[in-house]
Structure 1
Amino acid sequence: MSILYHSPVIIIREFLPQEQQTFLDLFKDDEVTQYLPVTSPERYVEMFSELLENYEKNNLSRWAIFDTVNNNFIGMCVARIFTYNTAQIEIGYVLSKAYWGKGIATEVCKALTHYSFVNTNTNEVVAITDVNNSGSQHVLQKSGFERLDNLIRDEEELAYFRIERAWLF
């Protein structure tokens, strides 16, 4: 099992194959998924299979976030090639409601941004959010991201954020 990031508060690491149900349970809370694209339960199962395959193939995937104090599952995060500009890496996260408002999302964003710049040759890391997801937008801005013009995906307007390599290195 590979560890992506470790701090006194959280650990970001590969999911283990036996943690599929833990991954799937994250998406059962309507408040947790309210700003995510509509996805079927079958698609979440496919996503879990894909993330396990990605661990062997490349350095971009989805990872588990755990509490280092009690080993409770916090959520998941992702770094992947951005569909709309393959020179950019897109990051994102989904946290259990119990962990909202504790600074964890900001720590995850900073860790993923650093990881993306160190492990790829991208010069830009981006993130998109629902235009109404002010919490995640605040997290991105606190993490050093700049808000750009909104992006349209599948006829839906999304808030679009970017940070450049020069800001960190």
Structure 2
Amino acid sequence: MDSILKRHLNNRLKNILQTRRLTLRPLRMADLDNMVANIMSDPDVMHWLPHSDATKTPEGQRAVARGFLEDFISPWEMEGYGIWAICLKGRGSKASGTFIGYCGFLPGQLEGEGPELAYAVGQAYWGKGLVTEAARACLAWLFARSDIDRVYAVTDRDNYGSQRVMEKIGMRHTKGVDLYDSVAKGVGLLPFFTVSRP
């Protein structure tokens, strides 16, 4: 096997995470249909994410999903981290391997604050602790595999479910920030949460 291909495959295998209920693997462009079905086509999920206005048509949903995937995949090569697909585990279950959403890190937009934690799952999987489980695994992986000392996350001020996830994984609310044009869009300052290396 070509040594570059072998190294690439080994790196991808090292980046597969297992939790009690989940398998997390790096996102790939082949996840486009899953992203549309679980995230982009659900207005209740998109309400909390940037670009929700662009997802009102099937064409818009695919375009936004494609853009998300490009943004989520590229950091793996450039930064050594990125976004994972969250997939259910199971023994002989039809749900085994089912794509339910994403979780991981994007290069931070705020100087000195580290990467940004980002996540979303389909509405059918809300309130089950799955995002918390995925985010804990991602944070543990990042702190074990890098010299990054700090991670941040932002959410809508009314997204209490997301804020609970952040608190459960050890993040603390420290301030409000204007990111993703939140003030110009009338959303206001976004709650800003951080966590440092243990």
Q: Which residue of structure 2 aligns with residue 11 of structure 1? A: 23
Question: Structure 2: which 5+ runs fail to align?
Answer: 1-11, 55-59, 91-95
Contact kept? 1:24, 1:45, Cα under 8 Å: no
Q: Which residue of structure 2 aligns with residue 64 of structure 1? A: 85
Normalised TM-score (structure 2) = 0.75
Shift of 1:113: 1.4
Q: 1:49 to 1:151 in 2, by over 3 A?
A: closer
Structure with the bigger percentage of strand: 1
CA distance in 1, matches of 2:68, 2:125: 23
Shift of 1:53: 4.1
Q: 1:133 to 1:5 in 2, by over 3 A?
A: same
Normalised TM-score (structure 1) = 0.87
Q: Which residue of structure 1 aligns with residue 153 of structure 2? A: 127
| Matched-pair identity in % | 24
Q: 1:84 to 1:53 in 2, by over 3 A?
A: closer
CA distance in 2, matches of 1:157, 1:51: 24
Moved more, 48-57 or 64-73: 48-57
Q: Which residue of structure 2 aligns with residue 160 of structure 1? A: 192
CA RMSD across the alignment: 1.9
2:43 is equivalent to residue 30 of structure 1: yes
Structure with the bigger percentage of helix: 2
Moved more, 68-77 or 18-27: 18-27
List structure 1 segments (4+ residues) > 6 angstroms apart after TM superposition.
none
Shift of 1:47: 2.6
Shift of 1:87: 4.9
Equivalences, count:
166
